[in-house]
Each structure stands twice: as C-alpha cells, then as structure tokens.
Amino acid sequence: MKKYKTNVEKYVENMSRFKHKCKCGHIIYLNDKHPKVLCYWCKRMNYLYEKDRIIDNLKRDIKK
C-alpha cells in the first residue's frame, strides 16, 4: 500500500530546498526571487550567489 504525502509534508519538503544557514547559526530561506536576504538575528546580508556578494562589495568600495 502506497503512503500518500499530506500537504504539510509536501510543503516542508519543498521549503527544505531553500534553507541556508547564516554564520550566526540561524536558518534563512533564499531563492531566485530573493537572492539576497538580511538575517533578522545578526543583521548580516546573505547571498544565494557569490557573484551578487562580489558586486555589492565593489559598489560599496566605489562609494568610498
């Protein structure tokens, strides 16, 4: 007999693909729609792609 997944199990399984752990240890969710997110615990910016982090750092350095 097959076990069918409930909606909650499908939701949890889908959201686990987007989990990212911040350096402070808290879990945040990143996806293509939101590739950079501010950790609401330590206020550190987290990036999905390394390229975005480098671009933001360059922009900050140019302003200085």
Cα-based distances in Å from 15 to 1, 12, 23, 30, 59: 27, 5, 20, 10, 32
Please give the residue range of the domain that contains residue 44.
7-63
2 belongs to a structural domain: no
Q: Is the pLDDT of residue 15 over 90?
A: no
Asked if residue 1 is part of any domain, the answer here is no
Assign 3 a pLDDT band (cuts: 50, 70, 90): confident
Does a structural domain hold residue 26?
Answer: yes
Is residue 46 assigned to a domain? yes
Higher per-residue confidence, 8 vs 3: 8
pLDDT at 11: 87
Give the chain's domain count.
Answer: 1
The distance of Cα 25 from the centroid of its chain, to the nearest Å, equals 13
Does residue 24 surpass a pLDDT of 70?
yes
Dihedral sign from CA coordinates of 52, 57, 62, 64: positive
